[in-house]
């Protein structure tokens, strides 16, 4: 298991409230048997869970617990810290989806493992990553573990939100919320990765609060892809194109349908474009695509506010259909024709 690991709590960026709550658990000695970390993808939930596991098992922290309210930053150099950082600690268990699902067999196997005493940990820690990927049977199986928690074991569920989990599972966990990362922090992060400040500022805005999203955007030709998509929509909004706009819509639909892996990204890009149009029409310039404000203003003049908002709804509907495995080509055809008609709304 490869872990993109933070050394300690001080390396967890922009999650002060969550870190304060977790360190408070350790300092008080009142550690819940089950925690639920919730928040959008790519903001440090898994890293924080593993730092928490280090702090619970750090030998340096354990030796000084006799003194009240000592710092709980893991040392990073003791044997448990090093083994957890390397992903080799036998009592720090990470459960992840297989083919986008966590099945009941994985939770049953976990139950068998937890029935045996920890090998060496002060506190055994189980991290269930993307817990929203559990099917109902897996959720009910996990509920049994939460109702009768194994001694010396902390379970940490990581999920995008709480409503995607069984309410009975949520009710048995102490919730720790994680917030989106500010645009400026994402830009600084990308600059440290070698991205130019100008490009980092744009991608930081487009990343929508997520470190992993920022990395994905920086690692692809995202800005060129954005330019290609927006140019097509500018042509669709140009009355001089006449009847050619229908053919252009269908050709664009065909191209999108061939790239199933990238289609959700395109839908998010278009959503940000129309969202920016709505913002500009409202008199603000607090846009996502901040380097394209003149073009956003020009596009906004060709749509009524109602049409812009309707187009955002159409994009969201298309995204949900794609995620539900609807026919991609048919979904794109219908969506693009509706967006095309909306230009003159």
pLDDT digits (tens, 9 = 90+) for 140-164: 999 999 998 888 999 999 999 898 8
Asked if 37 and 159 touch (Cβ cutoff 8 Å), the reply is: yes
Bin 100: left if φ > 0, else alpha if -120 < ψ < 50, else beta: left
> 120-156: buried (b, 16+ CB within 10 Å) or exposed (e) per residue?
ebebbbbbbbbbbbbeeebbebbbebbeeebeebbbb
Which structural domain range is residue 53 located in? 9-177
Per-residue pLDDT of 285-319, as tens digits, reads 888 898 899 999 988 888 889 989 999 999 999 98
122 in the same domain as 256:
no
163 in the same domain as 58:
yes
146 in the same domain as 248:
no
Q: What number is the average pLDDT over the span 7-23?
A: 92
- How high does pLDDT run on average in the chain? 88
122 in the same domain as 264:
no
| DSSP-assigned states of every residue in 183-233 | HHHHHHHHHHTT--HHHHHHHHHHTTT-HHHHHHHHTTTHHHHHHHHHHHH
Per-residue pLDDT of 245-276, as tens digits, reads 778 888 888 888 888 778 888 898 899 999 99
Closest to 323 (Cα-Cα) out of 96, 100, 37: 100
pLDDT band of residue 16 (cuts 50, 70, 90) is: very high
Residue with tokens 């042509």: 235
At 94, which helix (H) or strand (E)? Answer: strand 92-95
In angstroms, the CA 231 to CA 78 distance is: 56
- In sequence order, which residues have a C-beta less than 8 Å from that of residue 290 and are 6 or more positions away? 201, 202, 205
Higher pLDDT, 131 or 285: 131
Q: What number is the average pLDDT over the span 100-129?
A: 94
pLDDT at 177: 96
pLDDT of 343 > 90? The answer is: no
pLDDT band of residue 97 (cuts 50, 70, 90) is: very high
- In sequence order, which residues have a C-beta less than 8 Å from that of residue 28 and are 6 or more positions away? none
Q: What is the CATH number of the domain that holds 331?
A: 1.20.272
328 in the same domain as 314:
yes
In angstroms, the CA 329 to CA 134 distance is: 29
165 in the same domain as 301:
no
157 in the same domain as 32:
yes
Closest to 274 (Cα-Cα) out of 240, 319, 241: 319
Instruction: Identify whether 4 is part of a domain.
Output: no
| DSSP-assigned states of every residue in 111-175 | HHHHTSPPSS-SSEEEEETTGGGB-HHHHHHHHHHHHSPPTTEEEEEEES-STTS-HHHHHTSEE
262 in the same domain as 145:
no
User: Bridge-partner residues for 157, per DSSP?
Assistant: 36, 128
pLDDT of 3 > 50? The answer is: no
Instruction: Identify whether 1 is part of a domain.
Output: no
pLDDT at 295: 92
Q: What number is the average pLDDT over the span 330-338?
A: 87
Higher pLDDT, 263 or 37: 37
256 in the same domain as 201:
no
pLDDT of 277 > 90? The answer is: yes
In angstroms, the CA 283 to CA 116 distance is: 63
pLDDT of 1 > 50? The answer is: no
258 in the same domain as 196:
no
198 in the same domain as 121:
no
Question: In total, how many domains does the chain have?
Answer: 3
125 in the same domain as 71:
yes
- SS in 3 state form for 57-70? HCHHHHHCCCCCCC
Instruction: Identify whether 80 is part of a domain.
Output: yes
pLDDT at 184: 92
pLDDT band of residue 342 (cuts 50, 70, 90) is: low
pLDDT of 239 > 70? The answer is: no
């Amino acid at each position: 298991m490869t872990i993109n690991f933070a050394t300690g709590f001080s390396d967890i960026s922009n999650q002060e409230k969550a870190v304060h709550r977790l360190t408070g658990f350790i300092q008080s000695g009142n550690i819940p048997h089950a925690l639920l970390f919730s928040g959008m993808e790519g903001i440090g939930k898994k890293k924080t869970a593993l730092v928490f596991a280090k702090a619970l098992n750090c030998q340096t922290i354990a030796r000084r617990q006799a003194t009240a309210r000592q710092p709980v930053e893991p040392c990073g150099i003791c044997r448990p810290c090093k083994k957890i950082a390397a992903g080799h600690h036998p009592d720090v268990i990470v459960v992840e989806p297989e083919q986008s699902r966590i099945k009941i067999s994985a939770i049953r196997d976990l139950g068998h493992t937890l029935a045996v005493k920890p090998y060496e940990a002060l506190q055994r820690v189980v991290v269930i990553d993307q817990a929203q990927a559990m099917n109902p049977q897996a959720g009910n199986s996990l509920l049994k573990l939460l109702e009768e928690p194994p001694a010396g074991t902390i379970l940490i569920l990581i999920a995008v939100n709480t409503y995607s989990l069984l309410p009975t599972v949520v009710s048995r966990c102490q919730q720790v919320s994680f917030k989106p990362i500010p645009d400026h922090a994402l830009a600084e992060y990308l600059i440290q990765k070698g991205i130019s400040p100008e490009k980092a500022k744009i991608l930081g805005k487009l990343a929508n609060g997520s470190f992993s999203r920022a990395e994905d955007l920086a690692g692809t030709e995202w800005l060129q892809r954005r330019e290609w998509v927006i140019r097509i929509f500018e042509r669709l909004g140009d009355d001089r194109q006449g009847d050619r706009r229908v053919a252009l819509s269908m050709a664009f639909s065909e191209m999108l349908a061939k790239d199933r892996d990238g289609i959700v990204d395109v839908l998010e890009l278009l959503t940000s474009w129309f969202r920016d149009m709505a913002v500009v029409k409202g008199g603000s310039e607090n846009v996502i695509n901040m380097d394209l404000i003149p073009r956003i203003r020009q596009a906004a003049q060709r749509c009524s506010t109602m049409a812009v908002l309707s187009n955002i709804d159409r994009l969201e509907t298309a995204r949900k259909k794609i995620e539900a495995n609807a026919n991609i080509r048919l979904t794109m055809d219908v969506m693009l024709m509706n967006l095309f008609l909306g230009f003159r709304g």
